[in-house]
Structure 1
């Protein structure tokens, strides 16, 4: 990472903390590695992103329904899914720093550095070597690659590495009152299996016909050894997943449709299309016949935000075998029973949060010939902004605060609002810019005469005079979910 991009990333992290979006978990006890808390504004933004996803999946699609499955599930589920035996990452330790890393990510970081240094040929060759080693599950080869390319520990700066070995990422715990008689269960490492084991329940109770989807938002837990890149890689995180059940033989057609649909969903938020790319998987998971990541260009390089996978019939077939329950669907159109194939779309909510935050944080130079000026602004799409509008009385006297409170009390029934009467009006604008509030409403002396107020628009900084009784409609139209969802139709 260059100094410029490193500074940009540090600005994102510090801004997120300073303005109440993201805090280090247990910070007063020196924190807990790779675990974060969402502050007052972060919780609002996160909830709005969840709402956008849920509306776009469940509300806009008659053949998609949502569920909320439990975090604890029968341990045999994870045996059937392959997580007990195969949910591993190739890990390597540095003997000097005592730090543990994912071997493939150390090599990927080196590839990024080669690219940034203009060594494209070297980057391409290293990528090929990495792909070959991963496809062959050749752990000694991964260590050899690390040594050949002089990859050092980011902490100690040395090349004193252990052998590469596999490390299971699931958290295990005991369920039961007595440790001796307790059953070992796992905190779910993904939300998908909760959907698969409820396939028949949803299909029958909802009278669902293929093709149909089941959506879910929920927490998942992985014992990630590497704590880095802020909320990109955490031990406790949230996923937004759709499992879309289709007739066998049609899965790749649906896979292409969902690829296009999901990228369109991200771009509707106002992101720069040049910041996104598809990255096809070279090594497919054992259950997949096609897989692609939607990647975003973060300050530290392109990283996955969402995965689209054609999972075939692996999951339902495995659960049928381990549970001895038939996981079949009778298709009246072809008069046939079959186990459906599945196309999955899976978004990391925390990564999406970071994507939106990084994409929205802008430093603007407002200097003129007369004076130097600048502002820091979060240009969130109004529909997902944590605070929709702020109310300012111009002064703390002459009845202006009382009038402003009167307006606030009416609007807060529909919108998340803030009231602010401290400091000069310019400083108040800057505070709201920094948290992404799209509209500021100022109550002044003219308001008492004609019941009008000033609305100031965040992005253009232009102001307009409007009647108080029109505020609910005006703000409602500006922050409406329709402005996002219409783009997805």
Structure 2
């Protein structure tokens, strides 16, 4: 099945089973804005807890804050967002649709990658175990031709971005014969810059109103509180500040479900270090963050690093951790060495010293910063995409979300075999004991097979079936979602058995 069809099924599944709804759905929705349903909010909260605990619990020198969405407008002047937070946009004159010029070129690069991968897969199928992929990539004429085109495009594209050459960016689109997905034509306007910040006014009267912005990132809330945290917590360099919060960007090209939205959530940690040591810490955090992602068990081969073609004006190193979504490898987390740009700018614009006195060096300096930043919504999408499966069974088929057990919205379902003979009452006893420890569901409607399928579809790792023997031996049948294997266990042991398999702690221990 084509990946595009798989993605459509995933989007439909998210709505049908209460993970993600279009915002304002009864009013036909609002572009690129989504609501998380009853299952989605549980999964989202579990992702947050996994990230937060991995930062704050596992590192003695990392603490958390929660800064306000509204901030003094000069902050955004100091950070460069007022003058330089732009996307290069291009319009198609026939469809009247607007696109990000850089994304159009990135999609073209991805097409060359797809052509190469297609040739490799065909050859692997043809030659079987004797296939040497490295040799094939180095010698096959079609692979080499596409690789040459890709490399040439990539070099030209990177130069245009670094030179901020909008004319050249448009020319690349023309030369590559990139068409509008809607009209199918190449009738393009010039490329121009568009600022992404939402603005509003704050004040009791129109005359006294001050223009403020909805924050386009959460990082600045950490930077302006850096001294407050350092002094009140008596923090010593190196140390980090973590934050989870909403951010807002007026994305013109909002697409691919929750991958690119106008209102989104970030999980960011800013790590403050001595000048000159930042690149060592950058490499350390690269390794740490990739390990965190791979720890979820979604497949080592589905992750890769992608170094930036164009560094932000404040950075001296930057890379993305990309995950293989149904629409290709896409960024889920960025790791950036931001130098001392942010803190120096806020010191300059505020007129207040925010230097750190290092007692070991006996001198003061503005710390350098290494940032790790995850788009929580993108992380959510990567986990859903990596967990969505359609399986053919001997007695039919099933759709199952093989979510990491520690992140699953519902940890276990308790199912009486029939709705009589005291089985529902016994099932309720079990729920009443376990609900203090896990998010549980009770279900007695339909056959046991249909109930299993419902729990598979929302990713419940374990189902407990209460049968007539349970009333005699105080044991139940424990069913595993992924293998569908069943084991007989004592009711008294359920808490310990399940806790060991579904707790966030079980994930965190693997990071040590």
Residue 114 of structure 1, CA deviation? 2.2
SS in 2 for 1:380: coil
- The match for 1:191 is 218
Q: Using the alignment, how far apart are the partners of 1:132 and 1:477 within structure 2?
A: 52
Match of 1:122 in 2: 149
Which one of the candidate residues 365, 372, 385 is aligned to 1:345?
372
The answer as to 2:269 corresponding to 1:271 is no
Report the Cα distance in structure 2 between the residues aligned to 1:134 and 1:178, rounded to whole angstroms: 43
SS at match of 1:117: helix
Residue 23 (structure 2) aligns with: 25
SS at match of 1:16: helix
Matched, 1:300 2:298: no
**Is 1:153–2:167 an aligned residue pair?**
no
Residue 173 of structure 1 and its aligned partner are, at CA, apart by: 0.3
Decide which of 448, 466, 488 is 2:489's aligned counterpart: 466
- Counterparts of 2:105 and 2:290 in 1: how far apart (Å)? 27
Q: Between Structure 1 and Structure 2, how many residues are aligned?
A: 483
Residue of structure 1 in register with 2:506 after alignment? 483
Matched position secondary structure for 1:166: strand
1:291 corresponds to 2:318: yes
Superposed counterparts of 1:177-188, under 5 Å? 177-188=204-215
1:60-97 deviation digits (Å, cap 9, x = unpaired): 10000000000000000000000000000100111221
Gaps of 5+ in 1: none
Match of 2:475 in 1: 452
Question: Could you tell me which residue of structure 2 aligns to residue 5 of structure 1?
Answer: 3
Specify the alignment match of 1:110 in structure 2. 108
**Once the 2 structures are TM-superposed, how far is the Cα of residue 120 of structure 1 from its aligned partner?**
2.2
Secondary structure, in 3 states, of the residue corresponding to 2:352? coil
Residue 247, structure 1, aligned to residue 274, structure 2: yes
Match of residue 48, structure 2, among 37, 47, 50:
50
| Pairs within 5 Å for 1:29-44 | 29-44=27-42
Q: In the alignment, what sits opposite 1:364?
A: 391
C-alpha separation in 1, matches of 2:175 and 2:418: 68
Q: 1:442 maps to what in 2? A: 465
RMSD: 0.9
1:164 and 2:184 equivalent? Answer: no
Misfit runs of 4+, over 4 Å: none
Map 1:55-454; keep pairs closer than 5 Å. 55-118=53-116, 119-367=146-394, 372-454=395-477
Deviations 1:123-182 (A, max 9, x none): 221111111111111101111111111111111111121110000000000001222320
Structure-1 residue corresponding to 2:132: none
Superposition TM-score, scaled by structure 2 size: 0.93
CA drift at 1:482: 2.2
Name the SS for the 1:277 alignment partner: strand
- 1: CA distance between counterparts of 2:474 and 2:114? 57
Counterpart Cα distance in 2 of 1:68 and 1:103: 35
